[in-house]
Structure 1
Amino acid sequence: MFQPQLSFALSPYTALYDLIVPKDNMLRQINELVDFSFVYDELKANYCLDNGRNAIDPLRMFKYLLLKAIFEVSDVDLVERSRYDMSFKYFLQMAPEEAVIDPSSLTKFRKLRLKNMDLLDLLIGKTVELATAQGILTSTSIIVDATHTKARYNQKSPREILQDRSRKLRKAIYSIDESLKGKLPAKNAVDTLEAEIDYCQKLIEVTETGLGIAQLPKITEPLNLLKETVEDDIEQLRISQDQDARVGHKSADSSFFGYKTHIAMSEERIITAAIVTTGEKNDGKQLQSLIEKSKAAGMDVKTVIGDMAYSEKENIAYSKENQIELVSRLNPQITQGMRKKEDEFEFNKDAGMYVCKAGHMAIRKARTGKKGISKNQKDTYYFDVELCKRCPFKEGCYKEGSKSKTYSVSIKSGEHAEQMAFQETEYFKEKAKERYKIEAKNSELKHRHGYDVATSSGLLGMQIQGAMAIFAVNLKRILKLAD
């Protein structure tokens, strides 16, 4: 069971915080801005309230995870920093002389106390509510996009994770004293996971006992990250890769193995909704859920800004039905009618027929495709095959022996025709310029909050990581706008 601790424990040293932690310190500002008491209500069901010894205050454990999302350090370094960093102690509502927790408690808290929670929607909703109350969130537009996160356990070679961590440690050692290079064990040249683990263990041992620099701050963080991987995650690395992660594609020739986070963000750069999926999921299919989640969080959505992935027909129809402007360009294949060889076939508006490069006009046309489905119908134009057989331009156009020669153009649906007209307006073009903001937000998540690589395996772990990272960036943004 636990007893709520909404104030600092009595201590003769509490006044030190006013001397050491300045008023403009980010952690002090977050503490003053946010009422974290909602954590108790949300986690109550995952604790036994009438049996056993008192648990570590869940609010403090929650704040530890928030600190980890803000500063991207290992559990060991996070707890160690809370031992001496007064801004951390203040944020965690610890007395200056109070003892810290055991780092292993954070792993248990993530696995046992945060299960069966919709943490992502909860934390985003809290920040949207806070931004609205502060008068910061006033726009009625959301910008949508997806960002990818690589799985912690690589699809092809888990050994690469260990190589990356050991490389960072060696680089830190070289930056202090290049001559120490000769004291390190020889790099592993055997392409097996077992050999890489053995090398990492030797590197850790030498760094801790033989170099005399293990206590330097520049060394402890990469050292602890490598130890955490070898010691805590070794079983997972040996058993398998991440079972939930999937291969996704960033472009036609670029792929990744991991997860996608589909994000909706206001023009003030406050994230209003997010959905974490496996890497292969289509971006456009998440749009309607992002809009509904943004509305549920308290956002009044009248305009949606996104790239081409969100302009599929179902989304256009949904936006129209809900009186939402969809600022998303159609695929060129739709706007151009999915025509092939446009330079070889021209439309004669008077005859209502296409004319080929040789000057021959189609003799008839027919409409193909079923009505009432998402795919467009086509107008197929038929040419006189006898003329094609004798045509000087038949190579590459007419296949010898074919009994017909046709040219097809897809017909735009009513939704597509309206969207085409909308995307040519000045309003559409001006709104589309706002899309860069979400690219910057994705970059912030990845490069400042460790969202480029998953910190654990499984979709649930990714959702928890996403919830804490987005909560952190939203709070930072609210503080900046409020200031």
Structure 2
Amino acid sequence: MISNQESLNLSPYMAIYDIVVPKDNMLRQIGELVDFTFILEELKSNYCHDNGRNAVPPIRMFKYLLLKSIFDLSDVDIVERSKYDMSFKYFLDMAPEDAVINPSSLTKFRKLRLQDVGLLDMLIYKTVDIALEKDLIKSKTIIVDATHTKSRYNQKSPKEFLMEKSKNVRKAVYQFDEAMKQKFPTKTTSNEVEDEIDYCREIIAVVEKEAHIARIPAVQEKLNVLKEVVEDYTEQLNFSTDPDARVGHKTADSSFFGFKTHIAMNDERIITAAIVTTGEKSDGKYLQELIGKSRETGMEIETILGDTAYSEKDNIHYAKENKLQLIAKLNPQITQGARAKEDEFEFNKDAGMYVCQAGHMAIRKARTNKKNVGQNQRQTYYFDIEKCKVCPLKDGCYKEDAKSKTYSVTIKSTEHKEQEAFQNSEDFKMKAKERYKIEAKNSELKRRHGYDVATSAGLFGMQMQGAMAIFAVNLKRIITLMKEAE
């Protein structure tokens, strides 16, 4: 039940915050910048209003998740830090003497209160609205790109992943006490995941018995991650990998197992739209949706910057029809026009190969049909037949006992002359130089906000992580722009 959510805090100790949380503290600045009551309005329908115990205020729960994203900490560590960090308590609108929540409440809040809220779009809209209100957005340009996030479980087997996390704990412990090697259990030689989980539990128990070691922050963080992973495997995933993650490809020789976030960012480096998908999806297919979402925030758009993935035929036509300037170099393999089974095969512009709906990339390609015989040549892509034989999606795609699996597309005899002429102009070349800004933003999301690896399983979990990370980086950017404008 939610009630008295906005009651005044009458603690006699509130004045402490004026002493220990300076005006230039980032959390104080965010608190003054954003009216978080919009969260309460959005989540009211997910709470009972006249029955049960009073719930922790949804605004406070949301702020816990925002802190988790800003500081890239586990649920346990963010709650632990909020016990003693006065800037955290101030931001959470708590009295200095107030008790913190149980970390498990954050998991329940994510799963029970944030479903069907459309949090990603809502938070981006809110930050862009603040920026427009502060007159911080002057440009009419958006830059588009996609950044990948590895599944929490990566491409490692469950056993390998657990081994890695337990190793991180041991390494952290050895930095402070090498004698602990004698106390740790013998590593399991079994290939059973259950045995590896038991070993991890023993590691956790040994470290927790040594209170002087377990309290060291560097050890505690690794230990909490291991505990969360063990719990996740035991209770949620039943020893399986992420059910929603897919294989995506960065180049012909490198791949990842996880998700993609398709991002639009304006020239002021504020993210104006984002779409979270599974890892195998093609970047260019989401351009028009990113433009639409950016416009819904109130952004005026005249120019779009992107890499070759966005120069598909449909996107060029869309830009022309909507009087938009598309700064994206042509790729003959992408702009080949109509092709069969478009929904089943995606072109990966980095690798120069097609990827099937199961996430498998073609292993080679070759031109077929003769030149100058009254028909266009075709580019034929060959897939690994051994993977096709055991693929769960082979029905309707692979014929039993077939000796090869190929996919062919027609090679156009003429290119898009207008776009080709434009991309050779000085105006195109000058504007294209600004695309680096979104690569820097992707790096910030990954390096400072933990966006390189998913924190939970499933597409919904990835969307929640994206919403909080993008909200955090946008707020930080708005604060920076406000300082520059002073």
User: What secondary structure, in the 3-state scheme, does the structure 2 residue paired with 1:280 have?
Assistant: coil
Q: How far apart are the structure 2 equivalents of 1:409 and 1:144?
A: 27
Q: Per-residue deviation at 1:164?
A: 2.5
User: What secondary structure, in the 3-state scheme, does the structure 1 residue paired with 2:175 have?
Assistant: helix
Would you say the 8 A contact 2:158–2:239 is kept in 1?
Answer: no
Would you say the 8 A contact 1:152–1:457 is kept in 2?
Answer: yes
Moved more, 290-299 or 216-225: 216-225
Structure 1 residue 3 and structure 2 residue 3: aligned? Answer: yes
Corresponding residue of 1:165: 165
Corresponding residue of 1:392: none
Corresponding residue of 1:133: 133
Corresponding residue of 1:411: 413
Corresponding residue of 1:95: 95
Corresponding residue of 2:226: 226
Q: How far apart are the structure 2 equivalents of 1:105 and 1:316?
A: 48
Q: Residues 173-209 of structure 1, C-alpha deviation per residue, up to 9 Å, x if partnerless?
A: 1221333333322333433312221221111111111
Corresponding residue of 2:182: 182
Q: How far apart are the structure 1 equivalents of 2:411 and 2:23?
A: 66
Q: Per-residue deviation at 1:168?
A: 1.9
Corresponding residue of 1:200: 200
Question: Which is higher, the Rg of structure 1 or of structure 2?
Answer: 1
User: What secondary structure, in the 3-state scheme, does the structure 2 residue paired with 1:213 have?
Assistant: helix
Would you say the 8 A contact 1:335–1:420 is kept in 2?
Answer: no
Q: Per-residue deviation at 1:451?
A: 0.9
Which amino acid in 1 is paired with 2:145?
D
Corresponding residue of 2:86: 86
Q: Per-residue deviation at 1:410?
A: 3.7
Q: Residues 399-440 of structure 1, C-alpha deviation per residue, up to 9 Å, x if partnerless?
A: xxxxxxxxx984325xx1100011011111111111111111
Which amino acid in 2 is paired with 1:118?
G
Corresponding residue of 1:294: 294
Residue segments in structure 1 that go unaligned for 5+ positions in a row: 337-363, 377-407
Corresponding residue of 2:24: 24
Would you say the 8 A contact 1:127–1:471 is kept in 2?
Answer: yes
Corresponding residue of 2:357: none
Q: How far apart are the structure 1 equivalents of 2:332 and 2:315?
A: 17
Alignment of 1:379-418 (within 5 A): 410-413=412-415, 416-418=416-418
User: What secondary structure, in the 3-state scheme, does the structure 2 residue paired with 1:170 have?
Assistant: helix
Q: How far apart are the structure 2 equivalents of 1:239 and 1:334?
A: 39
Q: Residues 297-344 of structure 1, C-alpha deviation per residue, up to 9 Å, x if partnerless?
A: 1111110000000001100000000011000000156899xxxxxxxx
User: What secondary structure, in the 3-state scheme, does the structure 1 residue paired with 2:93 have?
Assistant: coil
**Normalised by the size of structure 2, how large is the TM-score?**
0.82
> In angstroms, what is the RMSD of aligned CA positions?
2.3
Corresponding residue of 2:323: 323
User: What secondary structure, in the 3-state scheme, does the structure 2 residue paired with 1:251 have?
Assistant: coil
Residues paired across the two proteins, number: 419
Would you say the 8 A contact 1:8–1:94 is kept in 2?
Answer: no
Q: Per-residue deviation at 1:103?
A: 1.1
Q: How far apart are the structure 2 equivalents of 1:232 and 1:368?
A: 56
Would you say the 8 A contact 2:245–2:459 is kept in 1?
Answer: yes
Which amino acid in 1 is paired with 2:133?
A
Q: Residues 343-382 of structure 1, C-alpha deviation per residue, up to 9 Å, x if partnerless?
A: xxxxxxxxxxxxxxxxxxxxx9676469xxxx99xxxxxx
Q: How far apart are the structure 2 equivalents of 1:187 and 1:136?
A: 56
User: What secondary structure, in the 3-state scheme, does the structure 1 residue paired with 2:194 have?
Assistant: helix
Q: Per-residue deviation at 1:35?
A: 0.5
Q: Per-residue deviation at 1:273?
A: 0.2
Q: 1:145 to 1:97 in 2, by over 3 A?
A: same
Structure 1 residue 68 and structure 2 residue 83: aligned? Answer: no
